Amino acid sequence: MTATTYQLSATLNGHEDDVRALIAPTDSILVSASRDTTLRTWTKANATKWDPESTINYKSNMFINSLAWFDDGANQLIVSGGNDTFVNLTSVDIGSRDLNEPEYCLVGHTANVCSLDSKGGLIISGSWDSTARVWTMNGETVHVLKGHENSVWGVKILDAEKHIYLTCSADKTIRKWVEGKEVKKIIAHEDAVRDLAVLPNGTFASCSNDKLIKIWDLETFELVRILVGHEHFVYSLDVLPNGDLISSGEDRTVRIWKNAEDCIQVISLPCLSVWKAIGFANGDIAVGSSDNKVRVFTTNEHRFASHDEIRLFEDELKASSISESAIDGFSKAAIPTEDILKQPGTIEGQTQTVKTNLGTIEIHKWERKNWVKIGEIVSSATSSSNEKKFYKGSWYDYVFNVDVEAGKPPLKLPFNVSQNPYDVADKFLVDNKLPYSYLQQIVDFIMKNSEGVTLDGSQGASSEPYQDPSYSRKSTSGYSHPTTSQAGILPQTQYLTFSKFDVPSLITGFKKLNAKQKPEHQLDASHFESLINCEDYQKLANEYAGYIIEHWDPSTKLIGFDLLRALITKIKPFDNLFELVRLGLDSENGKIRMMSIRLMVNIFSCKSWGEQIFKELEVVGIVFAKRVLDESTKLPKFMPISIASLLLNYAVLANKYKLLGLLNVISLKFDDIANAIIQSKDEESVYRLLIAYGTLNTFREQNNVTLVHTISTAYTSDRFTKVLKEL
């Protein structure tokens, strides 16, 4: 039987980072690509259910962002592209081949391959290098399509025999090509054009960061209609077998447009970004999103998920939250009460924010003639004091609802931004008699819903380590925490990072500081913003971070190091990278030395090359030089956590590879490092020091009785006690 609307069919878990691309070669095979560097294939367990287990088909050493299906009659191959700049072809059947080696590798692009299509034995790829390339399977370049002035986000083969192609770009244009030559060009949108879809009636669709979908005549390029509905960037388009258009975007929705005209359904998801939505030949829809999941939706009642699975999905959606800072023009004063939900919506998918009797702000969606709650809005970290929540006799910045068990009321979790999320999570688990294995989930929940505020108890420009107070950020250098597991805390096995990337503040800060430079050293601000929007991290690092560090006024160089810190795990090392790091470590500016340490912390997580750098013994003496350790007292809010994180990553590396030589060198510096951190009296830094000591202790007994006694006397919270018990 067929229903009139899409319902959840399956939730497929396996990826460890954003799912950026999907293809469905058949109704029973689904291929997904992720920022976790893997390509996975999913198959049907039977006619109605998907097997929850996936097979890793290919593993890259960088993000995989795009997919296509190649079928020339004789060969059927998965085509993938990503930050390694290659177009790789792999078979669905793994056989005995190396997962790290594709069957074919097409070399030619010089930046991330962000879009792919295949038809008639040809492959077309679009890249951040502003070109599109047309290939044969064996790597022959048929055409290089040059003309776009920015990343080529969408590519389509219209006619393989006549070599007719369609491309769209972050330069806001759509272009048509015949035999490698541009024959048509239009400025299609007011912002980057993200994707294209060819419709069955002689038209095609485009979507953009301007929130719009536009339908165009394929021959004349005349605008046919505009589809309005998405509330943020629109990332992907596809066409269902019946001619309906599907779209997805940053407003965490998938929308179905009947005959590419009227929106007939909006599917909301409990995530931040819906990167990709595609259709199967049977009419089902697969969705890849920022919560690392692949979901399948269907109108066929035989393929519906179980009632428990659907209820879990609906509960996740209701419990999901959006920061008020992410909503344009958000004003609490203008929000109506729940009474407005007594009035019917005007269009399918319409959203309405309401203020409840408890003072919380909910988001509801008009769906199938009913208002359905799809989440809550939480206050940003910069909320004023008069917006605090009163709970059990005290005022808090946040009082979260935490759903722990289905069918029971949510538990209240109060939190102030000056508190350490780990301490708050510890207390919450103890108070509610919950297992300690929930700790990291609770911490992640707090960090996500409080915008990842820093844990040093300070906010805003006054606490910012930048020389120029005009450049401030909420969480650009926010950091990860030591991981815990149900089996125990020691040894730490994952590297820590300072990975937060607050794009709006970064752009604002760059523009202000750029204007203060001498004219000959000023950079193109619009190009800088465009590179960020296009996620062209390699160019940002090479052309901007490096130039700022080498040429800007010394009092403004810090933003260059911070930019490099945020980008380093997303790029390949470039020629003078380590010269820039050394410049930072040798700087007279303590804040730059601090940021250079954080940059080095992140390098540990650079797959394929990061670990190798820190296996060199002489590097230890450079990064833990006396002048760096002395900064712990001069920059008490920023340097201790940086040094402690670097030490912990070194401990993880030494233990992981049993590097006795590295352990010996670290041991010689350990007392000086530990003293600097303990004198700072920064609790989180001391905790990381203790985890580092414990990790080294699992490799070779350290016997530092004085250190253990000092920490156990000064710090008595549960998380310290648990680690000390394991020593």
Long-range contacts of 212-215 (CB under 8 A, 24+ apart): 213/237, 213/245, 213/247, 213/257, 214/188, 214/189, 215/260
Average pLDDT over residues 426-448: 71
Highest mean pLDDT among 367-371, 454-458, 551-555: 551-555
Angle between helices 525-533 and 503-515 in degrees, nearest 10: 170
Amino acid at 613: I
Residue 420: which pLDDT band, with cuts at 50, 70 and 90?
low
Give tens-digit pLDDT for 22-33.
Answer: 999 999 999 999
Q: pLDDT category, 175, cuts 50, 70, 90? A: very high
- pLDDT score at 4: 78
Rounded mean pLDDT of the chain?
Answer: 85
DSSP 125-171: EEETTSEEEEE-TTS-EEEEEE--SS-EEEEEEEETTTTEEEEEETT
At 327, the pLDDT band (50, 70, 90 cuts) reads low
Q: Give the mean model confidence (pLDDT) for residues 390-406.
A: 72
pLDDT at 674 over 70: yes
Query: Are the C-beta atoms of 13 and 268 separated by less than 8 Å?
Result: no
Q: State the pLDDT confidence band at 423, using cuts at 50, 70 and 90.
A: low
Residue percentage of the chain with pLDDT more than 90: 49
pLDDT, tens digit, for every residue of 186-195? Answer: 999 998 999 9
pLDDT, residue 618, reads 79
Torsion of CA 443, 446, 452, 458, to 10 degrees: -100
State the pLDDT at residue 439.
67
Q: Is the pLDDT of residue 521 over 90?
A: yes
For tokens 């937060």, name the residue.
Answer: 500
DSSP per-residue letters across 497-520: -B----HHHHHHHHHHHHHTS-GG
Residue 386's pLDDT is 40
Evaluate if residue 471 carries a pLDDT over 70: no
Least confident span in 148-152, 200-204, 343-347, 454-458: 454-458
Measured CA to CA, the distance from residue 727 to residue 56 in angstroms comes to 37
pLDDT band at 310 (very low <50, low <70, confident <90, very high): very high
Give the per-residue pLDDT at 552. 96
The pLDDT, as a whole number, for residue 155 is: 98
Question: Does the pLDDT at position 50 exceed 80?
Answer: yes
Average pLDDT over residues 478-490: 58
Q: Would you state the pLDDT for residue 333?
A: 64
pLDDT of 457 higher than 70? no
107 has a pLDDT exceeding 90 = yes
**What does the pLDDT read at residue 454?**
32
* Stretch 364-381: mean pLDDT: 72
391/344: higher pLDDT = 344
- pLDDT tens profile 534-567: 778 889 998 999 999 999 999 999 999 999 999 9
